[in-house]
Amino acid sequence: MVQPAESSAPSPPPAAATRTPLEEQEETGAAFLPPPPPADSAELLPESWRAALNAEQQKWIGRVLFTRDSRGRSRLISELDLWWNPPQPRPIYTQPPASPDPFFACRLFLWVPHRMWHLQLTCPQPLCTGSMTKAGLYRTVRRVLDINGWYLMATEYLECRRCKKKVGGWSQGIIRQLSPTHSCQFPAVLTYKLSCDMRVLVQLRSRTPGNSAKRLFNTLREQHSEAWMRRGIRYLGICEQFLAMCSARGQTPPPPLPPMPPLPSPVWLLTVYSYDVLSQLDKYKFRITSTFGSILKMDSTKKVMKKLAGAASDTAAWVTNVGNEHWQVLNSVLTCSEGAGGLSRMAAGIMRRYRLAGVPAPQLMYVDRDCCNRDGASKTAALFQE
């Protein structure tokens, strides 16, 4: 500013405007605030995700998981986590809820091991050793059965650099490559359409009297119904406050309750349980082959085969079990005939187990046939010569 050449008296300084600390903080931090979210967060979701989610799920998932880059394209955020909880209903409503969806919203499990932990993964295809790289998001969003409700699960696409094969991040070929620290965080067993949380399957692992798939189905139905009723009571209690106002103004009453999602059948629970057993086959094999004993018993039966016959009838007739003094089974095989003729490989495997483990050989074995021979060693003694 150009000062005047002559001044009779200095002019008083202008009064400083008083500002609150909040205004100063907003002024200094205005340049660093993130851009506002888009008007419609559902547009940030992949098209296949929008087809699998309702309007309320599209809004909150698009708002918390996606953003736009400098070119305006939708991108997954960089700060990722496994579990994402939906926004809860407001504690106080001044107008009727537009939809019951916020009261029945379910959480999301996002499984992106390559993006989140930057792990070096190889192609799960046989005879291919190429490394995997991220190739977008998997187009299917799964529904997972939980103890008292459902939750959503999404994952990423991984592509092999060599054979260009794409697989989902939740495939067993990828999960088996993870360390126990990471693989134990995957919570479910997947099937073709639905999935089941491990907390549900754990209840089927305990093979006690009365613990059946039908019993588990009834327990899940009771817990799902109770959780759904609690949410419905909260929604209807809020809507009740505005019923008189809506009728006086001629407005449409709030939407009714949505139906409770149906539970899968007990047969489906058994199917998922069999998938869980197959995924842990190596662990069960290690546990069985680590069983020993000093007194063994070998016996054959047809009762089990009669229950398992079906299309495989007349192919195997006998089930032979070898157990120890603690009623633990060392081995179980299916044979076409009873006796020592078809059990040579089983006997060789049991003897090899004792030999490699350095465990003393059993002192006694009980059988119901082939135990005696006047001309020398019996068939059972010849079978277990060690």
**Token digits of residue 145:** 């059965």
Would you call 308 helix, strand, or coil by DSSP? Answer: helix
What predicted TM-score, i.e. pTM, was given to this entire model? 0.71
Angle at 247 between CA 245 and CA 253, to 5 degrees: 90
Mean pLDDT of the chain: 82
Name residues whose C-beta falls within 8 Å of residue 314's C-beta, 6 or more positions apart in sequence.
none
* Residues whose CB falls within 8 Å of the CB of residue 55, separated by 6 or more in sequence, listed in order: 42, 99, 101
Q: What do you get for the CA distance between the two ends of the chain, in Å?
A: 109
Write down the pLDDT at residue 310: 60
Cα torsion 277, 281, 284, 288 to 10°: value is 130
pLDDT attached to residue 229: 95
CA distance 142 to 45: 15
Return the sign of the alpha-carbon dihedral for residues 381, 382, 384, 385. Answer: positive
- Give the whole-angstrom CA distance, residue 380 versus residue 373: 10
Residue 111's CB is within 10 A of a number of other CB atoms, namely: 22
Q: What is the pLDDT of residue 341?
A: 61
Question: Is 203 exposed, middle or buried, given 0-12, 13-18 or 19+ CB atoms closer than 10 A?
Answer: middle
Task: Report residue 113 CA to chain centroid gap.
Answer: 14
Long-range pairs for 302-305: beta carbons < 8 A, 24 or more residues apart: 305/334
Token pair 């003694």 in the structure block, residue: 381
pLDDT of res. 242: 81
Q: Cβ(234)–Cβ(257) under 8 Å?
A: no
* Residues of the chain with confidence (pLDDT) below 50: 1-11, 13-39
pLDDT of residue 113: 92
